[in-house]
Amino acid sequence: MNIEYKVNEAITADQFSTLLAKTTLGARRPIDKVEVVNAMLGHADLLITAWQEQILVGVARSVTDFAFCCYLSDLAVDPAIQGMGVGKSLIRMTKEALKPECSLILLSAPQAIDYYPKIGFTQHNSTWVLTDIGCLS
């Protein structure tokens, strides 16, 4: 399997959405809203991609300050090549782009919750998510 990795290589909303649709993230991302997907890609600070010839087969999209914390908001690998080390490579390359003391933070998809401890992540039990500011009024 010949996989080429690229750092901050621009991808299209269609390429990103097509990959996400193949994975469990497709159901939890607004892949049918091109303007949102374009914003997700345009405002990412770090984008590591994996390519098999001209086809996007993996992506790690992060928002980060590169020094203290990095939120790995999307990690997706085409199911046809999962288990071949592509996800690990995307994570490793993400971490290598950061200062050594920078923490890598992510929210796991339910189907991947057992994967992250196996590759060195520790679970944090006090994560909170706010999606509606109406309660702050």
CATH class for the region spanning 4-136: alpha beta
Domain ranges, ordered by start, for the chain = 4-136
Whether pTM exceeds 0.75: yes
- Separation of alpha carbons 53 and 61, rounded Å: 20
Whether the Cβ atoms of residue 66 and residue 104 lie closer than 8 Å to each other? no
- Separation of alpha carbons 98 and 23, rounded Å: 26
Among 4, 1, 33, 6, which Cα is nearest to 14's? 33
pLDDT per residue as tens, the chain (137 positions) = 799 999 999 999 999 999 999 999 988 999 999 999 999 999 999 999 999 999 999 999 999 999 999 999 999 999 999 999 999 999 999 999 999 999 999 998 888 889 999 999 999 988 888 888 888 87
For residues 19-46, b (16+ Cβ closer than 10 Å) or e, as one string?
A: bbeebebeeebebeeeeebeebbeebeb
| Continuous H helices in the chain | 13-22, 34-42, 86-96, 115-118
Neighbour tally for 63: CB within 10 Å = 15
For β-strands 46-52 and 69-77, DSSP reports them as unpaired
Q: 3-state DSSP call for residue 96?
A: helix
